[in-house]
Homo-oligomer: A and B are copies of this chain.
Amino acid sequence: MTRAVKEAAAVSNLREFYRHFDGDALRDALRRMYLIRRFEEGAEEAYTRGLIHGTMHLSIGQEASAVGSCMDLRKTDYITSTHRGHGHCIAKGANPALMFAEFFGKEEGYCRGRGGSMHIADVESGNLGANGIVGGGLPIAVGAALAIRKQKRDDVAVCFFGDGASNEGAFHEALNMAAIWKLPVLFICENNKYGMSVSTERSMAVRNVADRASAYNMPGEIVDGNRIEDVSEAVMRATARARNGEGPTLIETKTYRIRGHSKSDRNRYRTREEIEEWKTRDPIGHFEANLETFGILGKDEVEAIRLAAEAEIAAGIEFARNGTDPSPAEVARDVYTGGAS
């Protein structure tokens, strides 16, 4: 059997996700998950070594949610991201080298060194930006979806946010407007159980963020956020609805951040056991195992993808370190479009 035929045979019995995407797409998804993981490990190390300043929020453990959400998106579809936004950025198509350049504060960075981790963006690939304000991206995504409608495009806007963000008024206002105007927007809540130190049990009176969808007469779907198939299939259903003019969807991906909230976290609000337990549900391990079991990728191919990701990350860091420092004379540059200040 040729590889293509083997793939086809193996795939025919499989669920939608493995039938919808071809081998290249699946390989690319795994590659992106590795890129995210290694990117964040690399960033973490650089931060610890004092090469990157500020703070950063790592999404290690949440890669399936980011990649599964973006796999089937077009370049012209928008995403809005969060303070925990590295994964979304890579998943939507950004170049890790240019992200590192940003983290190192270089002119080559996506934001010319002005934004850093919390404002990482790649407008070219449709990422309108991470956001330092919890919930800040919610209405912005609705606005992008409104623009799509006005421009008569059939693109969608995908809005990432956390469980904690769903307690902000912006969540309520954004979902309500998206619903009454039936806009093509997906609200993807990455519920990692905590908003910083506060568990969802303490911050909301319902069990699931998706339970809130009914207040907007909007479908609310809950998926295992550590299984890329589950995430991706839910997102595909929701994008189809959205492109079809049927309005917004709220999807809740149940996941977990393995690292602390940010670099200052002492993990006082959760147990070591909980963290260890979630490590056993690693989204990359899960996906890899499936790809191998279903005969879609061999061990050697997986290994090659991993190594390539590692090499790309190492090269990206090298690229970033050699980047150009902005000049202090340009501190007030790009405040206004015309250049006035």
B168 touches A180 (CB 8 A): no
Given A169-B170, A179-B204: 18 more A-B contacts, CB < 8 Å: A168-B173, A169-B169, A169-B171, A169-B172, A169-B173, A171-B172, A172-B173, A176-B203, A176-B204, A180-B205, A205-B216, A205-B217, A206-B215, A206-B216, A206-B217, A211-B214, A214-B214, A215-B215
Judge if A202 is at the interface, Cβ distance under 8 Å.
yes
Q: Interface of A with B (CB < 8 Å)?
A: 167-173, 176, 179-180, 202-206, 211-212, 214-218
Q: How many copies does the complex hold?
A: 2
Contacts of A206 in B (CB 8 A): 214-217
Q: Are A202 and B180 in contact (CB under 8 A)?
A: yes
In the complex, which residues of chain B have a beta carbon less than 8 angstroms from the beta carbon of A167?
172-173, 176
Q: Binding site of A, secondary structure by majority: helix, strand, loop or mixed? A: helix
- Nearest-neighbour CB distance to chain B for A134, whole angstroms, equals 12
Q: Can you name the residue of chain B whose Cβ is closest to the Cβ of A176?
A: B167
Residues from chain B with a CB closer than 8 A to the CB of A216 are 204-206
In Å, the complex CA distance between A170 and B173 comes to 9
Min CB–CB distance A143 → chain B (angstroms)? 16
CB distance from A202 to the nearest CB of B (A): 7
Complex formed: what's the CA distance from A173 to B173 in Å? 11
Q: How far is the CA of A79 from the CA of B299 in the complex (A)?
A: 67
* Pairs A–B under 8 Å by Cβ, sample size 25: A167-B172, A167-B176, A168-B169, A168-B172, A168-B173, A169-B172, A169-B173, A172-B173, A176-B203, A176-B204, A176-B205, A179-B204, A180-B202, A180-B203, A180-B204, A180-B205, A205-B216, A205-B217, A205-B218, A206-B214, A206-B217, A211-B214, A212-B215, A214-B215, A215-B215
Contact residues in B for A205 (Cβ distance below 8 Å): 176, 179-180, 216-218
Q: Which of A169, A204, A218 has the most CB of B within 10 A?
A: A169
**Chain B residues whose CB sits within 8 angstroms of the CB of A203 once the complex forms:** 176, 180
CB contacts (< 8 Å) of A180 on chain B: these are 202-205
Most interface-central of A171, A176, A212, A214 (chain B CB within 10 A): A176
Closest Cβ of chain B to A199, distance in Å, is: 11
Which residues of chain B have C-beta atoms less than 8 A from A202's C-beta? 180
A167-B176 Cα distance, complex, nearest whole Å: 7
Min CB distance A254 to B, Å, is: 18
Residues on B with beta carbons closer than 8 Å to the beta carbon of A214: 206, 211, 214-215
In the bound complex, how far is the Cα of B174 from the Cα of A168, in angstroms?
10
Q: Which chain B residue lies CB-closest to A247? A: B205
Chain B residue with the shortest CB-CB distance to A212 = B215
* Chain B residues whose C-beta falls within 8 Å of the C-beta of A179 in the assembled complex: 204-205
Given contact pairs A169-B170, A169-B173, A170-B169, A211 touches B215 in the complex (Cβ within 8 A): yes
Shortest CB-to-CB span from A340 to chain B, Å, is 34
**How many Å lie between the Cα of A298 and that of B99 in the bound state?**
81
Nearest Cβ distance between residue A204 and chain B, in whole angstroms?
6
Q: Which 8 residue pairs are nearest across A and B when measured between Cβ atoms?
A: A169-B169, A172-B172, A179-B205, A205-B217, A212-B215, A215-B215, A206-B217, A169-B173
